[in-house]
Each structure stands twice: as structure tokens, then as C-alpha cells.
Amino acid sequence: MADVTIFHNPACSKSRGALAILEENGVEATVVRYLDAPPDRATLERILDAIGGDPAALVRTGDARFAEAGYAKADTATREGVLAILLAEPRLMERPVVLVGDRGVIGRPPEKVHDLLG
């Protein structure tokens, strides 16, 4: 299997669940605790490319910190807007994100990780 990376927050039950699925399937993943080592622009761009779809999906717009930081959903309307938010506020990145090679999913629910393993 290609290199597997999980952007993980151990305080998040969904993130713990996705990591457990990887472990149960014997997948050795690189675990990136993104709150301790926030992703840079190139990494965020790689994540957005891998997950595809609407870039806004990578931002936790329902998190209280989103509004507290002065953001509105309109700020996530573009890829550049999403990148700016996540570079300034890494805590707002949706988690977990699992990458397998050039493919990726946001593991909400954690079972979405199976899409990458099959």
C-alpha cells in the first residue's frame, strides 16, 4: 500500500476511530498531530487535492473558534480563503484527514477510511 498519513487530534473521538480502523487493518500510518505541527501551505494544498470536492469541507465552520476568529462561511468559498483560514487557525481543520498516496478522505464518519483501504 502507498504511504498512509493521518492528520490526527487525539482529543477527537472521530480521529481516534479512524486511527483504530487503520490499526485494525494492519496499516502502518504516519501520524501527524497537526495541532503540535501545523501543516504548511504545501501540505494543505496536497490535502485539498487529495480529498477533492469543495475546499470548505476542510474547515470546521461549526466550531465556536471559527466565529470567534471573525470568520464567516463566505470566507471558505474559495480555495485561497480556506488556505488562509487554516494557515492562521490550524485548529479549524476538519479531522481526521487520511491520505493514501494521492487520495484522501476526511474521516467523518471514521468508516470513510475504508474507502481508501479497499
The answer to whether 12 is a known catalytic residue is: yes
Q: What sign does the dihedral 87-89-94-97 (CA atoms) show?
A: positive
Select which of 4, 7, 8, 12 is catalytic. Answer: 12
The alpha carbon dihedral of 56, 48, 113, 37 has a sign of negative
| Nearest residue to 8 via CA among 26, 29, 25 | 29
Rounded to whole angstroms, the Cα distance separating 4 from 28 reads 7
- The grid coordinates of residue 26 equal 494492519
**Would you please indicate which residues are annotated as catalytic (active-site) residues?**
12
